[in-house]
Structure 1
Amino acid sequence: MLKMTMFVRRLPSLDHGEFDRYWREVHGPLVASLAQPLRIRRYIQTTVDADEPVQEMLRQARGTLAIDFDGLGELWWNDLEDYRAVRSTPGGLAAVAEISADERRFVDLSRSCLWFGIERPMVE
């Protein structure tokens, strides 16, 4: 299973609530509606509640960096070949273009990061 993970930062013009509402109510349903041409097996959004004091307690307890993102997006494909196949069809290319254009409405791509990985489930 191929997985794309993206640490997402909102556009500076949006507060976290505006970002989260758009991501959940607009972008999420858009991705879901295009799952077939994108060949996505699974899509998950994890929002960060950066205002909670418990976040700071957790960070201090572990000695980690402060939260510097607004959410985590995860998408799964069967494998890299399946992901590449999306870009070989007009429908797949159109879906990628639509998703990319929508991301630019709420995500600061220049301050976000993404990568591919292969999951290794340790507890199922």
Structure 2
Amino acid sequence: MLKLTMCVKRQPGRSRAEFDEHWRNQHAALIRKHAALLGIRKYVQTTPLANPTAQHALQQSRGAEPVDFDGCAELWWDDLESHLAARGSAQGRMALQELIEDERRFVDLAKSQMWYGLEREIV
């Protein structure tokens, strides 16, 4: 399966609560609306745990930097070819455009990171 991972930063001026509310409710609804058309098999949102003590201990144990994003989205498709084909139709392009336009309302896309990958399930 093909997986898209996005580490997203919120738009400047938006609080974490505002970002999360839009992401969890409006954007998730759009993903559900277009999932079949775009061939999305699975969609998961992950937000950083709101526990500064635990986060700091984790980062200190590995010498890591503090988290510099507001969430992580993961989307799965059967493969790259079917993913690209779904986006190639007129309906697929319109659905993708609606998703991107919504992302621009709450995500700072220029400061976010995203990549395609293949999972290696170990456990």
Residue in 1 that maps onto 2:15: 15
Identity in percent = 48
Aligned equivalent of 2:94: 94
Question: 4+ runs of 1 displaced by more than 2 Å?
Answer: 49-52
Following superposition, the deviation at residue 51 of structure 1 comes to 5.3
CA shift, 1:28, in A, is 0.8
Q: Which residue of 2 aligns with 1:71?
A: 71
Match of 1:5, SS? strand
Question: Any idea what SS the aligned residue of 1:114 has?
Answer: strand
Residues 1:41 and 2:41 aligned together: yes
Distance 1:57 1:109 in 2: 29
- SS of residue paired to 1:13: coil
Q: Deviation per CA, 1:31-71: give whole Å up to 9, x if none.
A: 11110111100000001135532111111112111100000
Structure 1 length as normaliser, TM-score? Answer: 0.95
Q: What secondary structure is seen at the aligned counterpart in 1 of 2:12?
A: coil
Matching of residues 54-69 of structure 1 within 5 Å? 54-69=54-69
Gap runs ≥5 in structure 1? none
Conserved in 2, the CA contact under 8 Å of 1:7 and 1:113? yes
Taking the aligned partners of 1:22 and 1:53, their CA distance within structure 2 comes to: 27
Structure 2, unmatched stretches of 5+, are none
